[in-house]
Amino acid sequence: MLSNDARAMINYVNAILNNKVQDHDIPEIAEGDADFLELKESLRSIKLWEKMTRDSEARHRLMTENASDIIATVDLSGNFTYISPSVEKMTGYTPDEVKNHYREIGYFLPGVQKEMDRQRMRIKAMVEKGQRFDHLNFEQRQVRKDGVSIYTDTVLSGIYDEHNNFRELLAISRDITDKVKIRKKIIELAETDKLTNLYNRVKLDDTLEHELSRAKTRAATFALIMIDIDDFKQINDCFGHLAGDLVLFELAKLFKAMIRSADLIGRWGGEEFMIILRDTDASGAMKLAEKIRKGVCQKQFLEHQHITISLGVTVFSDDATVYSIIYRADQALYQAKKNGKNQVCLI
Provide the annotated active-site residues: 271
- Of 134, 133, 179, 170, nearest to 152 by C-alpha is 179
> Residues with Cβ < 8 Å from 220, sequence gap 6 or more?
211, 214, 278, 279
Q: Which amino acid is at 74?
A: V
φ, ψ of residue 225 in degrees (nearest 5): -125, 125
- Going from the C-alpha of 15 to that of each of 3, 12, 38, the distances in angstroms are 18, 5, 16
276-307 in b/e burial notation, b at 16+ Cβ within 10 A? bbbebeeeebbebbeebbeebeeeebbeeeeb
Query: CB–CB of 201/269 below 8 Å?
Result: yes
Beta partners for residue 267, in sequence order: 273
